Structure 1
Amino acid sequence: MLHGILHLASSGKLREVVESSRSERELCELLASLLGASAHVVVNGIEADLLLGTEACEVKLYPSRFYSGFGQALALKHVAGFKEVCVLQVVKAVSEGYIEG
C-alpha cells in the first residue's frame, strides 16, 4: 500500500485527491478506490482507515499534533494483528511549532 501511496504522490495524483477531499473520511474512500483497498474496516474492534491484504494505514488529514494517529497504528499492529501498518499524515505546512507540539 505504501508503494501505491508513494506512486500517487510522485505522479501528483495524491495532491489532487487531498485538495478535492472535504473530510478525512472522503479522503480515505478516494484513496481506497485508487489503491484497490478497502476503507474503514473494523478488525478485532480496531478501525483501519485503509486496508489492503495484510497492510493497514491510519490516515490523518491536517492533524493538530504530530503524533496523531500513532496510537491507532500501534493498535492496528498489536491488537488487530496487521503485518504492516503505516500512518499517512497530510499537513498543509510543517512548522517548528507543529513538530514541537
Structure 2
Amino acid sequence: MAMIDLVVVQPMVTDLGLSTEVVRTVESVMMPQVGQKIRDRTFGPDTDLAIENVVIDYLTEECFVYLVPVRLNDADENELRNHAQEYERRGWEWPRPI
C-alpha cells in the first residue's frame, strides 16, 4: 500500500469572529473518513477530535483532514494566538499566524 501525506488541519474560532488554524503533517497508509476520530497529546489526555471533512489532492498526493473546530469563548486575539502557539510547542505548524 502506498504512503500518503495526511495534513491534519485544526481550525480555531472565537465567538468574537476571530479564527486561525494549525496543521500537522503525517505519513499514513490509512485513508481517513468523516466521523472518525484523531487522538493527539495536544488535545489533552484521552481526548479525541472528530474528522469533519476530508479533501484528497491526487496531484500533490496529499489528503487534507479537517477536524471539528476548537471554539474559544470570549477569547481575544492574544488568547487565540497563545492557543495556537501551544500547538506549535507540541510540533504543529502555524502557517498563517495572526
TM-score by length of 1: 0.27
Per chain length, whose mean CA-contact separation is higher, i.e. which structure has more relative contact order (CA < 8 Å, sep 6+)?
2
TM-score by length of 2: 0.27
Higher helix share: 1
Higher strand share: 2
